[in-house]
Amino acid sequence: MPKDVKPKALKSKDVQSKRRRPSKAQQRAETMEQILDAAEALFSKHGLYGVTLKDVAGAVGVHHSLLNYYFKDKKKLFDAVFARRAVITSERRMKALDEYEAATGGNPTVEGALHAFLDTDLDLYIEGGVRWKNYASLGAQVANTPEWGAELMDKHFDPVVLRLINLLKKALPDASKEDIFWSYHFVTGALMHTLARTGRIDKLSEGACRSEDFLAVKKRMAAFMTGGVLSICRQHKKRAKR
């Protein structure tokens, strides 16, 4: 071999291993994430009944038979989409509530409990990008669908909701059970309407407020809800004294 001709460098095993194709399990996991992301985006805009498995397959760029392989029917796909992020937000809020109670030595306030419950969830929509915003819209739909939505909400969120209610009871030991539960009912109603991001506040405020602005929501929501909860419970206490 001439001296001025350099031999080609041999590829090391390490380099070769880095360029290996992903395993079948990895490919399946990646495909599943793509399916769930596409389905989440479509369901968030059109609801369960406005989307077909073919629509999802088209968005992913696969044949619809692949979706039939993974999911028995469209409702199974919807449930999987909803459950994927529900576990994340539930665990985060439960952890925040536990840590808040511990930090207060078991003497929580209404506003503190609401901040722990709401802020950790809103942070996901602030920091999580378009996918978490899609999930926010999806959650609002589910919460307002009596036929099957209540069952999904019960399954995924009852433990963390009851944890919040327990803290509210500790913060307001003289409040009636009815007032505490109605308070939560109004809290979750305002939250779900906000997560729906209908754009109505944008038009009403002539652009001063934006339904996408979860940071603005976070700055105000807990304080607003605290006023409502305290007002309801104080009214009941006054009636009880008469």
Q: What is the CATH number of the domain that holds 63?
A: 1.10.10.60
Is residue 2 a contact partner of residue 44, using CB atoms and an 8 Å limit?
Answer: no
**pLDDT band, residue 174 (cuts 50/70/90):** very high
Checking if the pLDDT of 230 tops 60, the result is yes
Q: Are 65 and 93 contained in the same domain?
A: no
108 and 43 fall within a common domain: no
The reply to whether 59 and 102 lie within a common domain is no
The pLDDT of residue 18 is 53
Which of 71, 101, 131 lies at the terminal end of a domain, its last residue?
A: 71
Give domain status of residue 7, yes or no: no
DSSP 61: T
Residues 169 and 92 both lie in one domain:
yes
Q: How confident is the model at residue 10 (pLDDT cuts 50, 70, 90)?
A: very low
User: How far, in whole angstroms, is CA 16 from its chain's centroid?
Assistant: 40
pLDDT band for position 232 (50/70/90)? Answer: very high
The span from the CA of 225 to the CA of 239, in Å, is 22
Residue 12, domain member (yes or no): no
pLDDT value, residue 239 = 55
Query: Which residues span the domain enclosing 45?
Result: 22-71
Which pLDDT does position 241 carry in this prediction?
Answer: 55
- Tell the burial category of 146 from Cβ atoms under 10 Å away from its Cβ (0-12, 13-18, 19+): exposed
Tokens of 189: 């109603």
For residue 59, pLDDT over 60 is answered with yes
Q: Is 127 within the bounds of a domain? A: yes
Domain count, the chain: 2
Instruction: With a cut of 80, say whether residue 20 has pLDDT above it.
Output: no
Residue 10 lies in a domain: no
In single-letter form, the type of residue at position 200 comes to R
pLDDT at 237: 58
Looking at the domain assignment, is residue 2 inside a domain?
no
Residue at which a domain ends, from 40, 71, 102: 71
pLDDT for residue 235 = 72
Give the end of a domain, one of 31, 46, 71: 71
Dihedrals φ, ψ of 43, to 5°?
-60, -35
Query: What does the pLDDT look like over 136-171, one tens digit per residue?
Result: 999 999 999 998 999 999 999 999 999 999 999 999
**Residues 131, 173 within the same domain:** yes
**Structural domain includes residue 80:** no
> Which CATH number covers residue 126?
1.10.357.10
Q: Are residues 38 and 148 in the same domain?
A: no
| Mean model confidence pLDDT for the chain | 90
The answer to whether residues 158 and 64 belong to one domain is no
Instruction: Kindly tell me if the per-residue pLDDT of 178 is higher than 90.
Output: yes
Regarding whether 65 and 184 lie in a shared domain, the answer is no
Query: pLDDT tens, 67-126?
Result: 988 898 999 999 999 999 999 999 999 999 999 999 999 999 999 999 999 999 999 999
Examine the pLDDT at 16 and tell me if it is beyond 70.
no
What pLDDT is recorded for position 5? 47
User: Is 93 contained in some domain?
Assistant: yes
User: How far is it, in rounded angstroms, from Cα 127 to Cα 139?
Assistant: 17
**Least confidently predicted of 16-25, 57-66, 141-150:** 16-25
Q: Residue 128 and residue 193: Cα distance in Å, rounded? A: 19
Residues 97 and 217 in one domain: yes
Residues 145 and 200 grouped into a single domain:
yes
Does a structural domain hold residue 141? yes
Q: Per the confidence metrics, is the pTM higher than 0.95?
A: no
Check whether residue 201 and residue 138 sit in a common domain. Answer: yes
Whether residues 108 and 56 share a domain: the answer is: no
